[in-house]
A and B are shown apart, each in its own frame.
Chain A
Amino acid sequence: MGDLFANLYFGFSVSLAPHNLLACFMGVFVGTAIGVLPGLGPVATMSLLLPITIKMEPTAAIIIMAGVFYGAMYGGSTTSILLNLPGEASSVVTTLDGYQMARQGRAGPALAICAWGSFIAGTLGVLGITLMAPALAEMAVKIGPPELVALLCLSFLLVVQFSGGSRPRAAASALLGFLLSTIGLDPVESTPRYDFGTFTLMDGVGFAPLVIGLFGISEVLINLEKSEKMEVFKGRIKGLWPTRQDWRDSAPAIGRGSVVGFFMGILPGMGTIVPPFLSYSLERRISRRPEKFGTGVIEGVAGPEAANNSATAGSMIPLLTLGIAPSAAVAVLTAAFLTHGVQPGPLLITEHPAIFWGVVTSMYTGNALLLLLNLPLVGMWARLLTVPYRYLWPMILLFCGIGAYSVSNNPVDVLLMAAFGLLGYMMRKLNYPGAPLVLAFVLGRLFEEKVRQSLVISRGSYETFIAHPLALLAWIASAILLLYPFFMRGRSAPHFPGEEEE
């Protein structure tokens, strides 16, 4: 325990340094803004920031990116409540009761409980990271390539299973991502693959053009098709301090949402979309007034909002302990670590303690800053919604172009981004989820590398993949996941509105 406090003290001394504090503020501010504005999600925004943060010191760069990620979860609820339009896919469920509360003149308490619930859940989630990550990282050091192969395989299957919508389409999307990850030099023999004689492709497909195109450009294209005008809430937002009854109704929901969100967030494929739905279902199931859900009950807002915020913290655990990204947004964070020459994973805590503890403690500060930003300034965020989209989209496209170009100063990346934008648009129109593609793209290369490394070490024997109990457990779980659809035949996969994993 003494070590824990010493580490926290060290972490706060890093994250409270003026430049890191400023980075944290910038991150959560931008995160809230893009969360409020429907049309640009955290994945695309983080990808846009990736090249800009290259010149920054690694800790500040990762603090700013993480700030955007969890800040967007706070901002997303504002539009859900005031406009019945989720700013983020993870805030879809908040529209159900949040908007009804606003219609009944209770927008203030709804926004307040969202902010407080997000703060409490976010802080509990970071506490979970603080307590669990060091122990898990210590265990993860003992994980070799064969065990990692089994865990990666389980991650792929979880992503396909839970990305929402049709599983075969999710599988096709993941396989396409895996195929894209094989472009460039082969990880073992350095033989060029699919480069078609070009230097650009010899380096592989860039992460930034892929993600910016797939999520940023496609989002703009989809939004350009929507002709309806947003009805902006014009009334004065009153009662930003929840009543005692509101607290009594919300507190248990926030507690349950925090736990559900945190543990679901750890699992690959869950992201921040599934946990709010599970929390909402749970609250309705155990409520004494389930028939009231959907008519403006505060638990229906508090639980899901807590769940999506603690899920962001939970999803950091696989990254910080194993180096595995469980969601598209965390995949961008992985890219941020790698861009700065830092390998996320079990050795992060010992090799880069300032980054690890600096980032973790910045999340405590960030959550407090978000509470300050979201409660007194809620009127300002609501006014942001009055900016017409016709003035925003060319700027978003420009930022996308700049983001794609400036990672490697290569104009071909802008063309690649446009091509991935078209692919992303088609995929969204045809209900092919984008998250499995991004995750398979990020993890695919690691998977191939570890399989081939394991085979070299074991001299071609496949027994190595089941020799370790952890690997065996992961294979059994994978087999269950593979067979699950056959047992559940006739029941459709859960489909969540706003399939995009951000």
Chain B
Amino acid sequence: MRRFAPPAALLAVSILMGWFAHRLGLGSINRPEPGFFPFWICVGLAATSIFLMTRDLRQSPEDEATSQAVFTLAGYRRVLSVMAGTALFGLLLEVSGFLAATFIFMAFCWLVIDRQSLLRGLLISAVASAAAFVLFVKLLNVHFPRGLLGF
């Protein structure tokens, strides 16, 4: 069932995007309009997804068991934590500025995800954020938002 899910998701994406493309106008084969290419890509993607779904439906129970072992609850948690941390970094950049956002992000990674001790986690987060600030802002001159704190 889990191997069945990705092509099903791809099929859903192709139907949705194909519908949007259709609304843009397809034109004709000799004079394609903006929706022409995305629409036919979606048709191709839908056909490939259906092929994959029918093929995966025929898979043996052993294969199914193997595919189910691919994802674990702990794995999901870690993946979602990393995603949340990265998204948090993106959201904080404009608000708190580069240095504070980096420190919060590093502390999140080392304290929440990696479960280091509080003191050690905070210390390496501070050192890593300072090093990143010196490298990217001071040495490489990359422009980052200053944020509410002014740095």
B-facing residues in A209-266 (Cβ within 8 Å): 217, 220-221, 224-225
| B75 touches which of A225, A391, A398, A418 (Cβ 8 Å) | A225
Query: When A172-B10, A225-B75 are in contact, do A397 and B91 touch as well, CB less than 8 Å?
Result: no
Is there a chain A Cβ closer than 8 Å to B78's Cβ?
yes
Chain A positions 393 through 425: 1 when the CB is less than 8 Å from some CB of chain B, otherwise 0: 111011011100110010111110110011001
Q: With A and B bound together, what is the CA distance between A452 and B31 in angstroms? A: 8
A194 to B34, CA, bound (A): 11
Contact, CB under 8 Å: B34 / A191: yes
Main secondary structure on B side of the interface with A: helix
Asked if A178 CB lies within 8 Å of chain B CBs, one says: yes
A432 — nearest CB in chain B belongs to which residue? B6
Please give, as numbers and ranges, the residues of chain A lying within 8 Å of B20 by CB-CB distance.
Answer: 193-194
**Contact A460 to B79, CB < 8 A, known contacts A182-B41, A405-B93, A406-B142:** no
A426 to B91 CA separation, bound complex (whole angstroms): 24
Q: Which residues of A contact B45 (CB under 8 A)?
A: 172, 175-176, 179
Contact A193 B35 (CB under 8 A): yes
Interface status of A495 (Cβ within 8 A of chain B): no
Do A402 and B136 contact each other (CB < 8 Å), given the known contacts A169-B52, A182-B41, A194-B17?
Answer: yes
Residue of B nearest to A404 (CB): B90
Contact between B141 and A55 (Cβ–Cβ < 8 Å)? Answer: yes
**In whole Å, how far is A159's beta carbon from the nearest beta carbon of chain B?**
15
Q: Is B143 on the interface with A (CB-CB < 8 A)?
A: yes
Instruction: Please state if A430 and B128 are interface contacts (CB–CB under 8 Å).
Output: no
Give residues of chain B (59-93) contacting chain A, Cβ–Cβ below 8 Å.
67, 70-71, 75, 78-79, 82-83, 85-87, 89-91, 93
Asked if A426 and B6 sit within 8 Å, CB to CB, the answer is yes
Q: How far is the CA of A224 from the CA of B77 in the complex (A)?
A: 12
Q: Does A291 contact B (CB under 8 A)?
A: no
Assembly CA distance A415 to B92 (angstroms): 11
| Contact between B83 and A394, CB atoms less than 8 A apart | no
Count of residues in B whose CB is under 8 Å from the partner chain: 60
Would you call A401 and B105 a contact (CB within 8 A)? yes
Task: Report how far A51 CA is from B142 CA in the complex, Å.
Answer: 8
Flag if A415 contacts B90 (CB, 8 Å).
yes
* Complex contacts, A413 vs chain B, CB 8 Å: 90
Q: B44: which of A175, A397, A432 is its contact (CB, 8 Å)?
A: A175
Residues of A within 8 A of B91 (CB): 411, 415
Q: Which of B38, B78, B83 contacts A224 (CB 8 A)?
A: B78
Could you tell me the distance in whole angstroms from the C-beta of B59 to the nearest C-beta in chain A? Answer: 12
Query: Given contacts A398-B132, A432-B6, are A221 and B143 in contact (CB under 8 A)?
Result: no
A497 interfacial contact with B, CB 8 Å: no
Q: A51-B142, A191-B34, A402-B132 are in contact. Are A221 and B52 (CB under 8 A)?
A: no
CB-contact partner of A398 in B79, B102, B140, under 8 A: B102
A430-B70 in contact (CB<8A)? yes
Contact flag A422-B83 (CB < 8 Å), given A172-B49, A406-B142: yes
Segment 103-151 of B: residues with Cβ below 8 Å from A: 105-106, 109-110, 114, 124, 128, 132, 136, 140-145
Per the bound structure, the CA–CA distance linking A221 and B141 in Å amounts to 29
The residue from A171, A179, A393, A422 contacting B79, defined by CB atoms under 8 A apart: A422
Distance between A141 CB and nearest chain B CB, rounded to angstroms: 27
When the two chains form their complex, are residues A394 and B114 in contact, meaning their CB atoms are under 8 A apart? yes
Is there an interface contact between B48 and A172, defined as CB atoms closer than 8 Å?
Answer: yes
CA distance A179 to B144 in the complex (A): 31
State whether A179 and B90 are in contact (beta carbons under 8 Å apart), knowing that A168-B52, A397-B109, A421-B83 are contacts in the complex: no
Residues of B near A400 (CB, < 8 A) are: 86
**New A-B contacts (10) at CB < 8 Å, excluding given A182-B37, A398-B105, A415-B91:** A52-B136, A176-B45, A179-B17, A179-B41, A397-B109, A401-B105, A409-B145, A414-B93, A418-B90, A451-B32
Q: List 12 A-B contacts (CB under 8 A).
A: A175-B44, A179-B17, A179-B41, A182-B21, A191-B24, A194-B17, A394-B114, A398-B132, A415-B90, A417-B90, A451-B32, A462-B30
Seen from chain B, the residues whose Cβ lies within 8 Å of a Cβ on chain A are 3, 6-7, 10, 13-14, 17, 20-21, 24, 28, 30-35, 37-38, 41-42, 44-45, 48-49, 51-52, 55, 67, 70-71, 75, 78-79, 82-83, 85-87, 89-91, 93-94, 102, 105-106, 109-110, 114, 124, 128, 132, 136, 140-145
